[in-house]
Amino acid sequence: MSIEDRLYPLRRLYEGAPQAIKSTIGLAYRHLPIGWRHGKNFGRFAKEAIESESWSKEAQIAYQTEAVKRSLRAAAECPYYQRRFLEHGVDPLQFEDLSELVKYPLLSKEDLIFHREAMLNQRIAASSRLYMSTGGSSGVPVGFYLHKGVSRAKEQAYLEAQWRRRGYQPGDPTAVIRGAVTSRVSDGSVCYYDASRNWLVLSSYHLNRERFPEYLRALNRFKPKHLHAYPSAALALAREMLERNAKLEFQFASILCGSEKLSPESQTFLETHFDAPVFHWYGHSERVVLASQGRRSNHLYFWPGYGYVEFGPPNETSHREIIGTSFHNDVMPLIRYRTGDYVKMPDELEGELPMTEVGDVVGREYEFLLSDQHRRVSLTAINMHDDLFEGLLAVQFFQASPGLVEFRFRPGLGWKPRRLDTIREGLKAKLGEDFEIKLVEVKEVQKTAAGKHCWLLSQLGTEVTG
């Protein structure tokens, strides 16, 4: 197992430590051999990612056939899949061709919620499991397990490989605005230095008109080579700079934007404003499939060695759902997982990379909560990756006035009411002290006209739009 996985449960203690301690520990950690930090599997995934950019069609098919076969056989050790495979008359031991995968049942987020423990590989020890959770962009909390020493090493290897397409090198000084809590109070520090990664971590929660000069000073002092940010945060920074005619005293080599939708218009705006290439990618916490832009093309290309992607039938807007089968997670393989995300197929393929190509991932618009100090907090930043929402079937935020947030939740069978205080404190830590949070239990959260879960209901209008 990697040191990274062993230390993962302690990350909040590290982030909350005084800067002197973070710098000392982080610098020592960064100087450890990369194989120690990320584990023995990191090197093979890094090599594989780079090589896969030039795989032939035959090489892709051969790799993916074997990888799907392994995932299916791992799934056959899980009680849930055993029952489902039997119901559908499929046998992983007989799987030989990718075309046969359509015979296997689809997996939904609800299946993951209700049958998670039955989806664990019974042949792998519990000590090899790393529990993760995501609130999800739809408001449906989902918990799942990754494979210690494998899943996070693979993710890091592929992220670094794709960022290299627009100039990133591991260890480059990077400014990060991606939901970190630098302070729980509205007038607290807007940043800290993470020496373990050579990152200047900037708060997503204090980026407003009043605090902007502090961001500009911190950036000009650190002079990062890259900006790694939620698209909404990068846009907020650029718009504030434009309004004030503020300038950076250095030049970004690239803007790395993930976890939210990035429209072509927004990408063009960021590239023009910062005079730097923007790199956008699609992924999700469950780590089933990963797609990213090319070196020149802004179309998205799915990494063939990361997972196997399929697309559902076109919906009423001609968009198709992303369906993925995970590779390399023998602890809890996800077979034909319906992500709930949709792609727009391109009118014409650009073909820069020999991979499955799509035009764009269709995501929700930027959504924000507004504090009584008129700070805008992106809901992407609130998405929890711990067990805060454990036992809940659906969550939803409602806001009718600045600073007052109603957190609506639908409990599941395993819900324990004593966890209300824990949830309130967890949300308060994310939102800050200029929010009042009211927790409301509901039988159903409000859905869209199409019957989909809705993450935010806001009556504040254009004041909080992206």
Query: Would residue 454 count as lying in a domain?
Result: yes
Query: Would residue 438 count as lying in a domain?
Result: yes
440 is in which domain, residue-wise?
Answer: 368-464
Cα–Cα distance for residue pair 443/281, rounded to 1 Å? 36
| Rg of the chain over all Cα atoms, to the nearest angstrom | 22
Look up residue 457 and give its amino acid. L
Q: CA torsion 62→67→70→72, rounded to 10°? A: -100
Residues with Cβ within 8 Å of 205's Cβ and at least 6 positions away in sequence, in order, are 181, 182, 375, 377, 381, 430, 431, 432
Query: Would residue 308 count as lying in a domain?
Result: no
Query: Would residue 434 count as lying in a domain?
Result: yes
Give the containing element (helix H, strand E) for 325: strand 320-326
pLDDT in tens, the chain (466 residues): 678 777 777 777 887 788 888 889 888 888 888 878 888 999 999 999 999 999 999 999 999 999 999 999 999 999 999 999 999 999 999 999 999 999 999 999 889 988 999 999 999 999 999 998 876 555 667 889 999 999 999 999 999 999 999 999 999 999 999 877 777 666 788 999 999 999 999 987 788 788 899 999 999 999 999 999 989 889 989 999 998 999 999 999 999 999 888 888 999 999 999 999 999 999 988 999 999 999 999 999 999 999 999 999 998 889 999 999 999 999 999 999 999 899 999 989 999 999 999 999 986 666 788 888 778 887 776 765 567 787 788 888 999 999 999 999 988 877 888 889 988 988 888 888 889 999 999 988 886 655 556 778 888 864 554 4
pLDDT of residue 383: 64
Question: What is the pTM assigned to this prediction?
Answer: 0.83
pLDDT of residue 385: 59
pLDDT of residue 224: 98
Instruction: Answer whether 287's CB lies under 8 Å from 304's CB.
Output: no
Query: Would residue 65 count as lying in a domain?
Result: no
Domain CATH number, residue 397: 3.30.300.30
Number of folded domains in the chain?
1
CA-closest candidate to residue 382, choices 340, 421, 427: 427
Cα–Cα distance for residue pair 47/53, rounded to 1 Å? 11
Q: Which residue has the tokens 């795989």?
A: 55
Query: Would residue 405 count as lying in a domain?
Result: yes
458, β-bridge pairs: 399
Instruction: Answer whether 174's CB lies under 8 Å from 199's CB.
Output: yes
